[in-house]
Structure 1
Amino acid sequence: MNLDIPELSLVALVGISGSGKSTFAREHFRPTEVLSSDFFRGLVSDDENDQSATADAFDALHHVAGLRLRAGRRVVVDATNVQKHARAELVKLARAHDVLPVAIVIDTPESVAWERTQARPDRDYPRRVLQRQSQDLRRSLRDLGREGFRKVHILTDTADVTISYERAWNDRRELTGPFDIVGDVHGCRAELETLLTELGWRLVRDDAGRPVDATHPEGRQAVFVGDLVDRGPDSPGVLRLVMGMTASGNALCVPGNHEQKLLRKLRGRKVTVSHGLAETLAQLEHETPEFVAAAAEWIDKLVSHLRLDGGRLVVAHAGLKEQYHGRASGRVRDFCLYGESTGETDEFGLPVRYPWARDYRGDAMVVYGHVPTAKVEWVNNTVCLDTGAVFGGELTALRYPEKTCVSVPAERMHYQPVKPLAEPEPVRDDETLDLGEVTGRRHLRTGYGTVLVEAENAAAALEVMSRFAIDPRLLLWLPPTMSPPSTSARDGYLEYPTEAFADYRAAGVDTVVCEEKHMGSRAVVLVCRDEAAAAARFGVPGVSGAIYTRTGRSFFTDPALTEALLARVRVAAAPLFDELSGDWLLLDCELLPWSAKAAGLIRSQYAAVGAAAGAALPAAVAALDAALARGLDTDVVGELRSRTAARTAQAADFVTAYRRYCWPTTGLDGLQLAPFMVLASEGATHAARDHGWHLAACDRLVDADPVTFRHTGRRIVDLADPAAEAAATDWWAELTAAGGEGMVIKPYAGLSHRAAGKLVQPGIKCRGREYLRIIYGPDYTAPEHLERLRDRGLHRKRTLALREHGLGLAALDAVAAGEPLWRIHELVFAVLALESEPTDPRL
């Protein structure tokens, strides 16, 4: 018996314990392809028979299976899989990676399986276990196809079984061309004949003079990108020619969305007759029923996309993202037919297409059509050939591997376009930044979700970026905003560690690190080994790095001061350069004191308030004392005097609070850096490393130069341990009582940590009472003010933090992958744009 299995598939072996699944797997599959539940159970518990470890074992198995499928490698799951819920997880996994699920059932009699089980000393369970599995298997057999398995093979005897692998229908890698790839024809038969003739093809006509085939003397093969029909004057003639060329092997074709809609109509499905379908249907009324039926059958057999020339060429009607190449699923087919839209419509009522080609980084050239433009559009390693022939434009073909285009003009405008043909974006150097990439309303889709940047926010960011920001070649990342914890109900407090721990616990985080929050300003430090390394890697001469604020501005106005501090960082970081095998590092730090960056703000805002209060309030108290001495209404004046005296004390506390963050500096004297993360180095992002690694690396900088660097105190807290929480809370109380700002609480597992499949807050800041006095004003601790402040809303701040966090992670990924500057810049720019969203600046 031979079993046909798709080359790229997830194979689920189904059978009761002792049925021989593992033996079958060893005989017919590579050891690396087989993922055994027993093996993973032993991997996580040191005991393959420890049933309590089953959940963890399958978590690990599914994770490894996902990694293999993502890499395009076959997976064979060796487990009983007799229960529907277990199989459902495998079908779900296959669909998530756009591969076909296959079930191979080994239907061994229960009695035989029991004999084998008894002969194995490591299997110690009663026969009723097998009886229950056998019952589950019997109930499952007839439903496997309906559960989503593309193929189901049932074996009652595994002897003399062979396995053959079916190539995917889209896999035509053996065809190496040369090819002539033709863009959207849309019923323009005359233009198609002219184009083929221009390309050197010889048309073959039937007795009625209609073209039914074409050959090329040099053995070239034509490839059509779909949308052969609708709108033009002779869709049946185009179908007849292309059908003949594919039948003779002279051409290949992928379907377009217009063929798909025509097929649904011909098969009696309900469709909206629009966008040229009415013209095609009217033209088909003049054809024989046999031709119409043959056309429907031919369309139905077209494959969503084609992989050609050893995988170096991909043809799909609307294009195809790299992760979909060679995959088979409804999702992949839909992308090939329709592309991807943002969910919006433009001023012409047409869907706004997501510009997937701008993000494309694949090695395979992707050739597509679907969206008409005035000229051929090259973006990265993709090319759009729909040049609007039916709208009076041109019909275009790409010669491959020459990568030259040949176009012929339309004989006339056959169909009035709803939207004028747009000029494609000019081909540009990958390192050139374009204003259009950061302006207007934009959707940024990353591996961490989709972020919408409103036009007005982009305009605000453009003002900052164009006038004040450092050279964008050095601006690799911006830190996300941080949210405070849920507001505390504790008497006298707005923020307290208890709520921060509860917030992370509710998000599914089990361990956090509490880091001392320094009394300074956020500083991102890009340090290179020397100026030559900076010029070679970032293309910026005359500097050895950058030190910039969370809004992308240079921290120091004096470049010499920047270079002097970078020199100290470089010396301390020398071992890290070697350890991480690179010539640059990106560090997340706090630069102290606060007054080094905010001296102007302190003088104009905080000191002014303190001075005014210090002058007015004691005088008011003196006046009230005099009024009381004269015997005025003691109840009223006394109460007013008491409140004024309290405000005087609070004003004094306010001045004391902000002065703790100020001290004089001269050049580098008095400045300190408190590093807490090594964000990236050459070819690597370190966002997935736990904070223990980051803080240990930063401690080494402090050890190397304790004058320049300041240690960051920390506590690691298991959120299931109340004692650990209490100890960290006591530590926070000590820090804040001594004048410290507070602490930042982060998921210990790292910056890119996910809980329940979702990103969590990168950090929650828990600030002390006296620091909040600076933020909310001298008398914020008065009970009536605290009650009002407890109504502060945090939802907008938290969602903003998560969106900025995802963009920052994507920027670090892009830096590590060596992606073009424009891709990194649009992500960093978006973080800055989001900062202009209206949120309470005190949060």
Structure 2
Amino acid sequence: MRQLLTSIETPELGLVVLCGASGAGKSTFARRHFTDTEIVSSDQCRALVGDDETDQSVTGAAFELLHTIVDKRLELGRLTVIDATNVKAEDRKSLLEIARRTDVLATAIVFDLPLDLCLERNSSRPDRRTPEHAIRRQHASIRRGAKQLRKERFARVYTLGSAAELDSIEVVRTRLWNDRRDDAGPFDIIGDVHGCHVELLALLEQLGYDTTADPIVHPDGRRVVFLGDLVDRGPGVAEVLDVAMSMVDAGSALCILGNHENKLSRALAGRDVKVTHGLGESLEQLERRSPEFRERVTGFIDGLISHYVFDGGRLVVAHAGLPQRYHGRSSGRVRNIALYGDTDGETDEYGLPVRYQWAQDYRGTAAVVYGHTPVPDPEWVNNTICLDTGAVFGGELTAMRWPERQMVSVQAEREYYEPIRPLEAEVEPRLPRRLDISDVLGKRRIDTTLAGRVSIDADRSSAALEVMSRFAVDPRWLVHLPPTMAPVAASKRPDCLEHPDEAFAYFRKAGVSEVVCEEKHMGSRAVLVFASDAAAALARFGISNDDAGVIVTRTGRPFFSEPGLTGALLDRVRLAADAAGVWDRLGTDWLVVDAELLPWSAKSAELLRDVYAATGAAGAAVLDAGRRLVSDAMGRGIDLEALATRTTGRAEHLASYVDAYRRYCWDVDGVAGIEIAPFQLLAAEGEVLARRPHKWHLEQIDALIEQAPDVLRRTDRRFVDLSDGGSVQAANDWWYSLTQGGGEGMVVKPAASVAHAKGGLVLPGVKCRGRDYLRIIYGPEYLEPSNLERLRQRSLGRKTSLAQREFALGIEALDRFVANEHLHRVHECVFGVLALESEPVDPRL
């Protein structure tokens, strides 16, 4: 007699197929245990395509729709329940094919209720009834085919045989074995050990584990994650297994299956396997241990799975790596790829399989850590990294600390096994990371850590693409564009449009207690992206031009058109970095630097000549002629005193305007005369430095400037305690001295660099410009009372929003680049900044 079921287990990600005749209670069961969006009903699909769920003439179209919905849901990782009769094997076959294609487990729930009950329920339906002969046929089909379901590749089959059982059953959602998203570590992920017991103990000690304890544990509760291939080739296979098994049993380690464990397990089970690639060493060493130990090893390997997903989906570990579409999935294909990599049967000149270089095309957000194919050094490629550094071949045994992403290695005592292929031959040249126009076109929604989701309109995306395709530097250099900067709110003081009071009030209201006021230079915004040398540029950016770097404008264009000028400037910055010890101090061989490049005329000579100088010359000519005419008329006795005064005042305004823009121009001869005023180190290897406080940045930059004062200009600054009236007044006085002496003004920033308030992200900085400089922006006579009053009504809302969104995108781009994500993920943010720049905002703000 069949034992009654009390519960049914369904995976959180998978396909659930309900099988049974009409009237068996499938729809009622589905609604009771699953959400409406999880259920895909054949009746509902008939209604969607034919307006009538009983219209059998549209069944073909309805099931075509049903299969499409199922395919998309499973592709997106959603549990999907099929509410249809599914009594024929051919009906179930198409659904199982979708499950196979999307690498999910399929569960069948069979409703084998008595025929009389199905007929009774059908007859009592008020809305629709299935013909009795159809129900009899369906019931007979499910009775005949129920025993075949287990042969149809269903992972689980449950049979419900009575109404009581149907009413009392509980559906339990279970996670797949590989789903450990709620486990954030911290972990120490160790690459292929291959029997190197001495090296394993040395590495564990270096990682801080107590190797004298049994089992080995970490005093701070860290855990090891073994990437598989513990066995074969090395002299301490049994000892390594002993360490790993005891740590796993104690909860201080996790382990995934490697291809060598898989083969060893088959050999221990008496299967016919080729004793190659070090398997003989494992079998020989295990033969010297007790049968109980070998049995324990067999059970341990049998319990290992192909991969794990950790830390909210941010970390995936798989022995041979795993493309994004297989993360958290379960199928034979996923297992094979996780163990062996993606191969097509071809072999190289060493007789080893040629594996698809999946990491070069990886676009996932999860970091994938793997081993399997030995490399001389671990290197991040598109947010993936291989930790097999060939310890058994005389290389190193490597671990990575997570979430720190810090590498720790120990050198092998000797070469225990001669590699078939030299380690150097394993290194594949880094290919250009592919970009696709579809990555940046159309309406975009970009998730950022600082400001949530940022939307980019389709027409703005097109505008950005136009600029990028025609003018931008090589995209591999383009990892950041700086945000626009909003001005302070209009001042209420009668003699100025902008004043520091409003800047301090903004940050005080946002809850910022300390700000830094930095001198605003008379130049153009520039971003320096460069490496310490050509080899470092090639390794990190996948490119090395003659300059091993670029200097770009806010729109990603090369700052200079003159050949050699960029390289000459970057060489001087590199020498300064060398002398100041920046590379060693930051542990990097590349930098991204935010700066101002002077003079303004170095980039905007044409603008100065054709717009500002032309305006000054035309105004001077008109006013000179006007003054002569007024003077002649007054000489004839006509009273034009008021007009003469007004004309003289306009001439003075114009003279101040000309003086203002002339301060931004001086002659340069190649590098001579050009100055770079760096004010923030944005990123280096392993860290987005832009999140560090401004005081740290200015200290680092001052050290650089000391080494190259001829090309690097210091940015003067004042730190201000907003609760201290004296500190605020001193900053106001400094601003007056700057602007009265012809300076542009200052930028006020939160001392902490990144700040949040209840209303969202605080602006990274606001500019407060001086009276004379604003003549360039608003015209010679903007200080006339009527003009000034009109300008006080300027709206800053759109500009402020733009600055916040662009800042969030700029930091997000750096986050993704530093995390070694695929270049398209970085460019999504860079394009976003450029796209936002095409929004209609008053360019004078």
> What TM-score bracket applies, with the shorter chain setting the length?
0.5 to 0.7
Contact 2:479/2:830 (8 A) holds in 1: yes
Aligned to 2:527: 524
- Of 333, 340, 351, the residue aligned with 1:399 is 333
Aligned to 1:306: 176
Contact 1:361/1:380 (8 A) holds in 2: no
Aligned to 1:596: 602
Is it true that 1:606 corresponds to 2:606 in the alignment?
A: no
Q: Which amino acid aligns with 1:798?
A: T
Aligned to 1:508: 511
Aligned to 1:715: 718
Render the CA deviation track for 1:584-624: whole Å, top value 9, x for unaligned.
11111111100001001101110110010011111112111
Q: Could you tell which deviates more after superposition, 541-550 or 584-593?
A: 541-550
Q: Which amino acid aligns with 2:586?
A: L
Contact 2:160/2:166 (8 A) holds in 1: no
Whole-angstrom distance in 2 between the partners of 1:289 and 1:360: 36
Q: Please report how far the alpha carbon of residue 312 of structure 1 lies from its aligned counterpart in structure 2 after TM superposition.
A: 13
Q: Could you tell which deviates more after superposition, 305-314 or 469-478?
A: 305-314
Aligned to 1:551: 555
Whole-angstrom distance in 2 between the partners of 1:254 and 1:722: 71
Q: Please report how far the alpha carbon of residue 657 of structure 1 lies from its aligned counterpart in structure 2 after TM superposition.
A: 0.2
Whole-angstrom distance in 2 between the partners of 1:786 and 1:170: 73
- Of 664, 668, 671, the residue aligned with 1:665 is 668
Q: Which amino acid aligns with 1:644?
A: T
Q: Please report how far the alpha carbon of residue 507 of structure 1 lies from its aligned counterpart in structure 2 after TM superposition.
A: 0.8
Q: Could you tell which deviates more after superposition, 224-233 or 515-524?
A: 224-233
3-state SS of paired residue (1:572): helix
Quickly say closer, same or farther: Cα 1:292–1:556, change in 2 above 3 A. Answer: farther
Render the CA deviation track for 1:728-773: whole Å, top value 9, x for unaligned.
00000000000000000000012x3334584210000000011110
Quickly say closer, same or farther: Cα 1:653–1:382, change in 2 above 3 A. Answer: farther
1:273-672 pair list within 5 angstroms: 294=165, 300-303=171-174, 305-308=175-178, 361-363=314-316, 380-382=324-326, 399-403=333-337, 431-448=433-450, 449-542=452-545, 543-574=547-578, 575-632=581-638, 634=639, 637-672=640-675
3-state SS of paired residue (1:674): strand
Q: Which amino acid aligns with 1:791?
A: Q
Q: Which amino acid aligns with 2:820?
A: G
- Of 816, 840, 843, the residue aligned with 1:841 is 843
Q: Please report how far the alpha carbon of residue 238 of structure 1 lies from its aligned counterpart in structure 2 after TM superposition.
A: 9.5
Q: Could you tell which deviates more after superposition, 506-515 or 535-544?
A: 535-544
Whole-angstrom distance in 1 between the partners of 2:682 and 2:135: 62
Quickly say closer, same or farther: Cα 1:254–1:686, change in 2 above 3 A. Answer: farther
3-state SS of paired residue (1:675): strand
Contact 1:590/1:674 (8 A) holds in 2: yes
Whole-angstrom distance in 2 between the partners of 1:614 and 1:283: 98
Aligned to 2:751: 748
Q: Which amino acid aligns with 2:554?
A: R
Quickly say closer, same or farther: Cα 1:456–1:294, change in 2 above 3 A. Answer: farther
1:83-162 pair list within 5 angstroms: none
Q: Which amino acid aligns with 1:380?
A: Q
Render the CA deviation track for 1:367-421: whole Å, top value 9, x for unaligned.
xxxxxxxxxxx97354699xxxxxxxxxx966341249xxxxxxxxxxxxxxxxx
Q: Which amino acid aligns with 2:537?
A: A
Quickly say closer, same or farther: Cα 1:657–1:311, change in 2 above 3 A. Answer: closer
Q: Please report how far the alpha carbon of residue 308 of structure 1 lies from its aligned counterpart in structure 2 after TM superposition.
A: 2.6
Quickly say closer, same or farther: Cα 1:313–1:580, change in 2 above 3 A. Answer: closer
- Of 729, 735, 760, the residue aligned with 1:726 is 729
Over aligned residues, Cα RMSD in angstroms? Answer: 4.2
Share of identical aligned residues, percent?
Answer: 47
Q: Which amino acid aligns with 1:544?
A: A
Q: Please report how far the alpha carbon of residue 253 of structure 1 lies from its aligned counterpart in structure 2 after TM superposition.
A: 6.6
Q: Please report how far the alpha carbon of residue 776 of structure 1 lies from its aligned counterpart in structure 2 after TM superposition.
A: 0.5
Contact 1:236/1:283 (8 A) holds in 2: no
Whole-angstrom distance in 2 between the partners of 1:492 and 1:648: 19
Whole-angstrom distance in 1 between the partners of 2:762 and 2:558: 30
Render the CA deviation track for 1:255-311: whole Å, top value 9, x for unaligned.
99xxxxxxxxxxxxxxxxx9x9x99xx9999899965675576574224x4343888
Quickly say closer, same or farther: Cα 1:233–1:603, change in 2 above 3 A. Answer: same
Contact 1:610/1:654 (8 A) holds in 2: yes
Whole-angstrom distance in 2 between the partners of 1:254 and 1:814: 38
Contact 1:226/1:255 (8 A) holds in 2: no
Q: Please report how far the alpha carbon of residue 188 of structure 1 lies from its aligned counterpart in structure 2 after TM superposition.
A: 8.6
Whole-angstrom distance in 1 between the partners of 2:778 and 2:765: 21
Give structure 1 stretches of 5+ with no counterpart. Answer: 1-168, 173-180, 191-223, 243-250, 257-273, 315-358, 366-377, 386-395, 405-425
Render the CA deviation track for 1:791-837: whole Å, top value 9, x for unaligned.
10001111111111111111111122111111111111101111111
Contact 2:17/2:107 (8 A) holds in 1: no
Contact 1:312/1:364 (8 A) holds in 2: no
Q: Which amino acid aligns with 1:611?
A: A
Contact 1:186/1:232 (8 A) holds in 2: no
3-state SS of paired residue (1:302): strand
Contact 2:316/2:327 (8 A) holds in 1: no
Is it true that 1:229 corresponds to 2:82 in the alignment?
A: yes
Quickly say closer, same or farther: Cα 1:641–1:559, change in 2 above 3 A. Answer: same
Q: Please report how far the alpha carbon of residue 235 of structure 1 lies from its aligned counterpart in structure 2 after TM superposition.
A: 11
1:771-790 pair list within 5 angstroms: 771-790=773-792
Q: Please report how far the alpha carbon of residue 529 of structure 1 lies from its aligned counterpart in structure 2 after TM superposition.
A: 1.0
1:201-240 pair list within 5 angstroms: 226-230=79-83, 233-234=86-87
Contact 2:19/2:108 (8 A) holds in 1: no
Aligned to 2:829: 827
Whole-angstrom distance in 1 between the partners of 2:9 and 2:725: 57
Q: Please report how far the alpha carbon of residue 535 of structure 1 lies from its aligned counterpart in structure 2 after TM superposition.
A: 1.1
Q: Please report how far the alpha carbon of residue 627 of structure 1 lies from its aligned counterpart in structure 2 after TM superposition.
A: 1.8
Whole-angstrom distance in 2 between the partners of 1:441 and 1:225: 25
Whole-angstrom distance in 2 between the partners of 1:482 and 1:237: 63
